[in-house]
Amino acid sequence: MTTDYAGRRVLVTGGLGFIGSNLAIRLVELGAEVTVADSLVPDLGGNRFNIAPVEGRLTVHTTDVREAADELVEGQDVVFCIAGNVSHVDSMSDPLLDLELNYRAQLAVLEAVRRQGSQARIVYAGSRQQYGRPRYLPLDEHHPLEAIDVNGINKTAAEAATLLYYQVHGLPTCSLRLTNTYGPRMQMRHSRQGFVSWFVRQAIDGEEIELFGGGESLRDFNEVDDVVDAFLRAGAREAAVGEAFNLGHPEPLTIRQFAETLVEVAGSGSLAERPFPDDRAGIDIGSVFANYGKIRGLLGWEPRVGLWEGLTRMVEYYREHREQYW
């Protein structure tokens, strides 16, 4: 893995956001020639400070991939498609914007690569939300895709197009279906992108963490360094081409267990039970965790960071850089 990217030209869309910036930093450290593109749509998490460790060692385009895809993908060896909206709540209040950010943006990249006759590897950031409410657990890649919110529908469509361009046009594409990713460089200003970052902010601020429905639903959690490792493998290994892969963790936890561990790590914060708000009750998926045996078998990926270690890193990062995220 340490030599797979040396000297390669790599584009990361959404590269000023949470996962994209962590991936871009690792790529620079591996010797890649990195370009990041981010439109810095308010509230989506793009933050120039996220790439501070490698500022000046990569190229940054603050542009909309829907309008600039041809320029951005030209000459690239690998394209990591991380850009998009990840808020399930926002997708229900503004479904057409979610369609633009998640489906049309991905089509723009695919079409640009196809028109240029490129063989750039395209790795798409999918979501476990594509599955909807599980029929069985742990979910595997054969589980039906039955999204119950607009975000999940658009992510499903974008992934389907990504894999179709392999089947029909021969582009070397693949997709990772991400679960609850956490770690440094998440946006912390609102709670509409899931509970993880908001819980961390509340714990650091010594506030009360609300557990909707008691927090008894199970989830699997991946620290961002492990997720970056999965993307790097998907972008370099031939076995990834044409495939969709679940990420996951061998030790699913209840949301309450996550919050209890967080409060212990932070040394502050408290827990309280609350009923689900109306805007979240209808799109709650209950317990969900994934079987990641496919990516382990084909790409050798295994999560290595435990929750205590990962949350310790995260809390320390935000306490050091609070002013950049609050």
* pLDDT tens, position by position, 70-124: 999 999 999 999 999 888 889 999 999 999 999 999 999 999 999 999 999 999 9
Give me the number of domains the chain comprises. Answer: 1
Q: What is the mean pLDDT of residues 198-227?
A: 96
pLDDT interval class at 249 (50, 70, 90): very high
Question: Which range, of 118-122, 172-176, 210-214, averages the lowest pLDDT?
Answer: 210-214
pLDDT for residue 164: 98
Position 21 pLDDT exceeds 90: yes
What sign results for the dihedral spanned by CA atoms 116, 117, 118, 122? positive
Position 197 pLDDT exceeds 80: yes
Q: Please indicate, yes or no, if residue 67 is contained in any of the structural domains.
A: yes
Domain that holds residue 146: 9-186+221-250+290-305
Spatial distance between the Cα atoms of 5 and 29, rounded to a whole number of angstroms: 10
Position 280 pLDDT exceeds 80: no
The CATH number assigned to the domain holding 65 equals 3.40.50.720
Residues 6 or more apart whose Cβ sits within 8 Å of residue 270: 207, 208, 209, 263
Position 275 pLDDT exceeds 80: yes
270-274 and 221-223 strand pairing: unpaired
Angle subtended at Cα 248 by Cα 242 and Cα 252, rounded to the nearest 5 degrees:
160
pLDDT for residue 297: 98
Q: Please indicate, yes or no, if residue 108 is contained in any of the structural domains.
A: yes
The proportion of the chain whose per-residue pLDDT surpasses 70, expressed as a percent, equals 98
pLDDT for residue 1: 61
Q: Please indicate, yes or no, if residue 89 is contained in any of the structural domains.
A: yes
- For residue 242, which of 166, 169, 140, 161 has the smallest C-alpha distance? 166
Q: Please indicate, yes or no, if residue 261 is contained in any of the structural domains.
A: no
- For residue 174, which of 249, 101, 110 has the smallest C-alpha distance? 110
Q: Please indicate, yes or no, if residue 315 is contained in any of the structural domains.
A: no
Position 281 pLDDT exceeds 80: no
